Amino acid sequence: MSMKKWLTLFSFSSLPSLLGVSLSFGLIPVTPAMAADSTELVVYSARKEHLMKPLLDQFSAQTGIQVTLYTGKDGALIERVKSEGSQTPADVLMMADAGNLGYAAEQGLFESINSPLIEQAIPAHLRDPQMRWTALSIRARTIVYSTERVKPEQLSSYAQLGDANWKGRLCLRSGNHVYNKSLVASMIAHEGEAQAKQTVENWVNNLAAKPFAKDSEVMKAILSNRCDVGIVNSYYFGQEITKNPQAKMALFWANQASTGTHINVSGAGIVKASKNKQKALKLLEWLSQDQAQTLYAEKNYEHPANPNNQPSEALSRWGAFKADQLNLAKVAELQQNAVLLMQKAKYQ
């Protein structure tokens, strides 16, 4: 079997178990001879293989364009493309969170996307103003609460979770994670640094436990009575409630009386060093349209980025909400400000 075909069968994330080592993208470089040839598309994706492969298989079936998929962590994929430089086999880079997309763009990794089709399909606030990347799906980062110990009328906004009545009742994921960096960046954009810092300090004072590594751990803490409220990405809630339909827990859409609930995206851009830019563009355009939008979002309990597509039945049960219309490029721009602010507020 050729090296190209062997690599096509496995994602980067599956290699450690095969090799018996912890794989770092810097340890085993993929050379052009190892990658798919120029008639195929190579996608580096931070979205997991089970989410992306069915979609890419459909794209291949409909267009005849074969796709080789590699998966890995956002940061590691960015560093890999940087280290490979002009010799990278990657054509498309898919990331989770506007912060990661913005960082990749600022590193000069993306080609500008020239596509009236994408501009018509994806709202402007979900695209980079310079069209270096576009959203493909939306998730909300909002409040989750115990339905046994909290009434929804007690909730209103992210800032309100800093009120005294939530002392010892709040659980959060680590401030080091990009999802919370982006949330705090949006707060800075809307309220200014002073007010955002006060809110974060109030959160820290109300914590029932040390910040967790994962959103799923925040929800487990709520279900085990360690805390009553938290902040999570909506798709993590979808995963949990599917596994545990009887869970006494619900989502509350934050900031409905003001800026709207903070949203973020998974998205993609065309790699500047791609040898297949037209085919890469065709993939992004295909992913922005109806069939792909529905499947892409449903697989991970997310909302379609194309507003012409309705959310899945499962998401519809959570109720409609007003989403923040802040351009996510601003969220990416303010990431470092958010990091410094959280350090000052002692939110680790």
Please give the annotated binding residues for Fe cation, written as ranges: 235-236
Which residues pair with residue 252 across a beta bridge? 143
Which residues pair with residue 146 across a beta bridge? 249
Provide the token pair at 235.
């798709």
> Which residues, 6+ apart, have CB-to-CB distance to 148 below 8 Å?
248
> Which residues, 6+ apart, have CB-to-CB distance to 212 below 8 Å?
171, 172, 173, 174, 218, 221
Helix axes 178-191, 98-106, angle to 10 degrees: 90
User: What is the C-alpha separation between 219 and 114, in angstroms, rounded?
Assistant: 41
Strands 134-146 and 67-71, how do they pair?
unpaired
CB neighbours of residue 326 within 10 Å: 18
CA angle 314, 315, 320 (to 5 degrees): 140
Q: Which of 149, 169, 150 is nearest to 161 (CA)?
A: 169
Binding residues: 235-236
> Which residues, 6+ apart, have CB-to-CB distance to 100 below 8 Å?
46, 74, 75, 78, 178
User: What is the C-alpha separation between 310 and 293, in angstroms, rounded?
Assistant: 9
Contact 306, 92 (CB under 8 A): no
